[in-house]
């Protein structure tokens, strides 16, 4: 446990001094600041007012930025450290491989999750100060979504880092995975369904395997519990899970996908060359 | 203490180590030499449990791969290229000390003996230190614990003569209880530190010989050089060797670390035309 925490602390300190973290923090802090500056909390669109509108916009922007940011920075720093000789030295110290890998995972998770959460939390604090109503249910659920999202893409990033031997290869693989997930949002699926080659239920199932689609749908479900905007797909989803069931699924599935990917990454890491 | 049995390692189809069989005993000081690509670094990484391989590697009967913490707890390692760590020096020391169950004060003390202003650099990022400072710190971390096996890759390459002398003294203090493996491209860089030479080529051991051990690590030689004329370039070259000139700057005298004599003579040889007389005496 001590080794795990020591490694996590080490990764946190390394990350805090890295440029990617400064940019990452600036991006999410900047998004919240800009949303306030542009008066989003004072506007009313489709019934969203006050902080709920800001939170909906923030979660949509985060869904677009966080996955690729986490994937690229994770694989860059982990594969980069391996290439630069950081692993050669630090793994010559008597640290257990499980403590090393999971400590790194834990440290990186805290560093990735903290800025996105704190930016949103900052918005809530500010809203409380200036007397804007805070939708606490929405805030709590979006916090869970952000936590699951960070876990999911960090786990995938750690898996890529475990099998990719070079930074270039790792970055390429991370980008390809993100692109596939992005293309399998609605674009390809709708095309496939229109052509009638795939059973609509299978298409919806494929969409629900895609964590990006799950987050998107879950974010919608907070203000559109019947998922009317999704059209016929909503019937399949709600038949399968129910409203609350889907909300739970949207937290559990990506989190398990991330942990499963990280576990597979650990298995690959420990059975082959460590460098 | 260390056994390699039919150790082989390949990367895809390229064979890097080809059936290495070696036994290294307690107290041996081994120079691991060979050209680039000979397999030295791969051998060291197998020894540190960082590479999967065929054949056996045992340290005190334990496999470093499956008994990582037990085996690596006894090994002090100094890499050839310092890792680009962004963490502050203080945290690197604390992290290493905590994992190795040693007191950070021991690492501080050795760093100070090597001439490192440890207290002054605790909050500086490791990666921002000079090459020599990094090397001193990594040596201090390797020696600041009860390591029974020291693995060092060109450990003194970036050290100034004074620090090299102290480094040899520090190694001398560990002669009784530690085995040392010192890797280098060139034998003359490490010959005076070792009592056994293992040369590798194309992934095989091509020379395995004991060497004369007349010069001990703590030997000190009194040196006297008489110049035909003063030359500022010579004064600059021997500046770090603690040689003191007379009033006319033609006679230079001082003490040279025994194991460093070849290196010292190599530097002086650049100024052969200037040297009228040179003597090295044990003292």
Task: Look up tokens 């050669």; give the residue.
Answer: A88
Q: Which residue has the higher pLDDT, A115 or A205?
A: A115
Q: What is the ipTM of this complex?
A: 0.79
Span A81-105, mean pLDDT? 91
Confidence of residue A189 (pLDDT cuts 50, 70, 90): low
In tens, the pLDDT along A220-251 reads 777 777 777 666 667 777 777 888 888 899 99
Q: Which residues of A touch B68 (CB under 8 A)?
A: 94-97
Higher pLDDT, A161 or B190: A161
Contact residues on chain A for B85, CB-CB shorter than 8 A? 14, 86, 89
Residue with tokens 């390797």: B142
Give the residue carrying structure tokens 């994770």: A74
Q: A66 and A116 in contact (C-beta within 8 Å)?
A: yes
Chosen for mutation from B43, B51, B66, B87 (greatest number of chain A CBs closer than 10 Å) is: B87
**Token pair of B259, please?**
């194991």
CA A226 to chain centre: 24
User: Please, which pLDDT band fits residue A61 given cuts at 50, 70 and 90?
Assistant: confident
Percent of chain A with pLDDT over 90: 35
Whole-angstrom distance, CA of residue B143 vs CA of residue B177:
12
More confident call, A32 vs B82: B82
Q: Which of A120-124, A200-204, B202-206, B207-211 has the lowest mean pLDDT?
A: A200-204
User: Chains A, B: CB contacts under 8 A, how many?
Assistant: 81
Residues of A in contact with B131 (CB under 8 A): none
Query: B87 to chain A, minimum CA–CA distance in Å?
Result: 5
Measured between beta carbons, the chain B residues lying within 8 angstroms of A96 are 68-69
* pTM flag (> 0.80): yes
Cβ–Cβ under 8 Å, residues B193 and B239? no
CA A2 to chain B, closest CA, distance in angstroms equals 9
Q: Which of A10, A18, A88 sits opposite B83 (nearest CB)?
A: A88
* Minimal CA separation from A163 to chain B, in Å: 14
Asked whether residue A109 carries a pLDDT value surpassing 90, the answer given is: yes
What pLDDT, on a 0 to 100 scale, did the predictor assign at position B241? Answer: 81
Identity of the residue in A17, A91, A95 whose CB atom sits nearest the CB atom of B50: A91
C-beta atoms of A273 and B91 within 8 A: no
* Torsion, CA A92, CA B202, CA B52, CA A75, rounded to 10: 70
Task: Give the distance from residue A153's alpha carbon to the nearest chain B alpha carbon, in angstroms.
Answer: 24
* Inter-chain CB proximity B98 and A6 less than 8 Å: yes
Residue B189 has pLDDT above 90, yes or no: no
Pairwise CA distance, residues A103 & A192, whole Å: 42
pLDDT of residue A44 exceeding 60: no
How many angstroms away from the CA of B151 is the closest CA of chain A?
Answer: 10
H helices within chain B, ranges in order? 40-47, 68-72, 89-100, 104-113, 118-121, 131-143, 161-173, 187-190, 232-237, 261-268
CB contact under 8 A, B69 and A274: no
The answer to whether residue A1 neighbours chain B at the CB level (below 8 Å) is no
Q: Which residues from B are below 8 Å from A275, CB to CB? A: 45, 50-51
Q: Picking from A175-179, B143-147, B184-188, which range would have the lowest pLDDT averaged per residue?
A: B184-188
Hey, of A83, A86, A93, which one would you mutate to test binding to chain B, going by the most B CBs within 10 A of its CB?
Answer: A93
pLDDT digits (tens, 9 = 90+) for B91-106: 999 999 999 999 999 9
- Per-residue CA distances from B218 to A200, B161, B174, B175, B201 (Å): 82, 14, 12, 11, 32
Residue A258, pLDDT > 90, answer yes
Answer yes or no: do A6 and B88 touch at CB < 8 A: no
Give the pLDDT band (50/70/90) at residue A145. Answer: very high
Please tell me the CATH code under which domain B2-210 is placed: 3.40.50.300
Q: Which residues of A touch B75 (CB under 8 A)?
A: 92
Mean pLDDT of A60-65: 88
Tokens of B169: 């003294």
CB B51 to CB A91 under 8 A? no
pLDDT surpasses 80 at A98 = yes
Residue B150 has pLDDT above 90, yes or no: yes
Strands B149-153 and B220-227, bridge-based pairing: unpaired
Average per-residue pLDDT for chain B = 87
Higher-confidence residue: A92 or A239? A92
- Structural domain boundaries, residue A64: 2-271
pLDDT bin (cut points 50, 70, 90) of residue A154 is very high
Nearest residue of chain B to residue A4 (CA atoms): B99
> Among all residues of chain A, which has the CA nearest to that of B126?
A14
pLDDT (tens digit, 9 = 90+) per residue, B61-75? Answer: 999 988 999 999 999
DSSP label at residue B182: E
pLDDT tens digits, residue range B245-282? 988 888 999 888 877 777 788 888 888 888 889 988 87
Is A218 in contact with A145 (CB distance < 8 Å)? yes
**Chain B nearest CA to A28, separation (Å):** 24
Q: Do A97 and B95 touch (CB under 8 A)?
A: no
Q: Exposure string (b/e) for A77-107, b if CB count within 10 Å is 16 or more?
A: bbbbbbebbbbbbbbbbbbbbebbbbbbbbb
Distance from CA of B57 to the nearest CA of A (A): 15
User: Model confidence at B141, in pLDDT bands (50, 70, 90)?
Assistant: very high
The most distant pair of C-alpha atoms in chain B lies apart, rounded to whole Å, by 65
Q: What percent of chain B has pLDDT over 70?
A: 96
Contact A91 B48 (CB under 8 A): yes
Q: Is A166 on the interface with B (CB under 8 A)?
A: no
How many separate domains does chain A show? 1
DSSP string, A163-181: H--SHHHHHHHHHHHHHHH
For residue B197, give Cα distances in angstroms to A147, B10, B19: 56, 24, 19
- CB distance from A14 to chain B under 8 Å? yes
Residue B267, token pair as written in the block: 């530097």
Torsion sign across C-alpha atoms A11, A12, A18, A23: positive
CATH 3.30.70 placement within chain B? 220-282
Q: Which CATH number fits domain B220-282: 1.10.10, 2.60.40, 3.40.720, 3.30.70?
A: 3.30.70
Handedness of CA B223, B229, B232, B233 (dihedral sign): negative
Choose from A19, A79, A94, A99 for mutation: most chain B CBs within 10 A: A94
For chain B, residues classed under CATH 3.40.50.300 are 2-210
pLDDT at residue B170, as a whole number: 86
Q: How big, in percent rounded to 5, are the helix, strand and coil portions of chain B?
A: 35, 30, 35
CA distance B68 to chain A (A): 6
């Amino acid at each position: 446990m001590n080794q795990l925490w020591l490694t996590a602390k080490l990764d946190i300190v390394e990350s805090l001094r890295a440029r990617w973290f400064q940019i990452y923090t600036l991006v999410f802090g900047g998004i919240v600041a800009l949303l306030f500056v542009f008066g989003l909390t004072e506007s009313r669109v489709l019934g969203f007012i006050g902080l709920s509108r800001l939170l909906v916009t923030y979660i949509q922007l985060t869904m677009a930025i966080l996955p690729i940011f986490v994937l690229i920075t994770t694989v860059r720093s982990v594969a980069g450290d391996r290439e630069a000789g950081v692993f050669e030295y630090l793994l010559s110290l008597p640290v257990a491989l499980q403590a090393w890998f999971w400590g790194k995972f834990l440290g990186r998770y805290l560093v990735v999750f903290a800025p996105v959460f704190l930016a949103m939390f900052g918005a809530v604090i500010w809203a409380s100060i200036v007397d804007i109503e805070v939708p606490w249910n929405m805030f709590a659920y979006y916090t869970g979504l952000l936590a699951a999202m960070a876990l999911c893409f960090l786990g995938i990033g750690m898996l890529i880092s475990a099998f990719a031997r070079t930074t270039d290869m790792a970055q390429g693989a991370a980008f390809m995975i993100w692109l596939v997930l992005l293309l399998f949002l609605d674009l390809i699926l709708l095309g496939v369904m229109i052509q009638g080659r795939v059973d609509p239920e299978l298409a919806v199932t494929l969409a629900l395997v895609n964590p990006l689609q799950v987050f998107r749908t879950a974010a919608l479900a907070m203000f559109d519990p019947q998922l009317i905007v999704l059209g016929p797909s909503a019937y399949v989803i709600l038949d399968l899970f129910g409203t609350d069931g889907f909300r739970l699924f949207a937290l559990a599935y990506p989190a398990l996908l991330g942990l499963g990917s990280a576990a597979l990454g650990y298995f690959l890491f420990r059975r082959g060359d460590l460098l | 203490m260390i056994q390699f049995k039919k150790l082989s390692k390949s990367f895809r189809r390229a064979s890097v180590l080809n059936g290495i069989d070696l036994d290294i005993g307690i107290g041996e000081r081994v120079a691991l030499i060979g050209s680039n690509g000979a397999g030295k670094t791969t051998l060291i990484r197998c020894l540190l449990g960082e590479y999967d391989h065929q054949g056996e590697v045992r340290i005190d009967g334990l496999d470093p791969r499956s008994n990582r913490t037990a085996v690596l707890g006894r090994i002090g390692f100094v890499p050839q290229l310092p890792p680009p760590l962004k963490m502050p020096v203080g945290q690197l020391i604390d992290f290493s000390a905590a994992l190795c169950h040693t007191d950070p004060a021991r690492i501080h003390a050795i760093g100070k003996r090597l001439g490192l202003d440890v207290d002054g650099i605790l909050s500086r990022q490791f990666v921002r230190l000079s090459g020599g400072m990094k090397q001193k710190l990594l040596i201090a971390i390797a020696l600041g614990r009860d390591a029974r096996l020291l693995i060092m890759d060109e450990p003194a390459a970036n050290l100034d003569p004074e620090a090299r002398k102290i480094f040899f003294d520090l190694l001398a203090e560990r002669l009784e209880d530690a085995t040392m493996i010192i890797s280098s491209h060139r034998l003359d860089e490490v010959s005076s530190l070792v009592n056994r030479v293992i040369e590798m080529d194309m992934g095989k051991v091509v020379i395995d010989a004991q060497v004369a051990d007349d010069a001990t690590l703590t030997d000190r030689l009194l040196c006297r050089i008489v110049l035909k004329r003063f030359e500022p370039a010579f004064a600059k070259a021997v500046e770090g060797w603690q040689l003191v000139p007379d009033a006319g700057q033609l006679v230079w005298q001082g003490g040279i670390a025994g194991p460093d004599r070849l290196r010292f003579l190599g530097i002086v040889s650049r100024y052969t035309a200037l040297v009228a007389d040179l003597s090295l005496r044990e003292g």
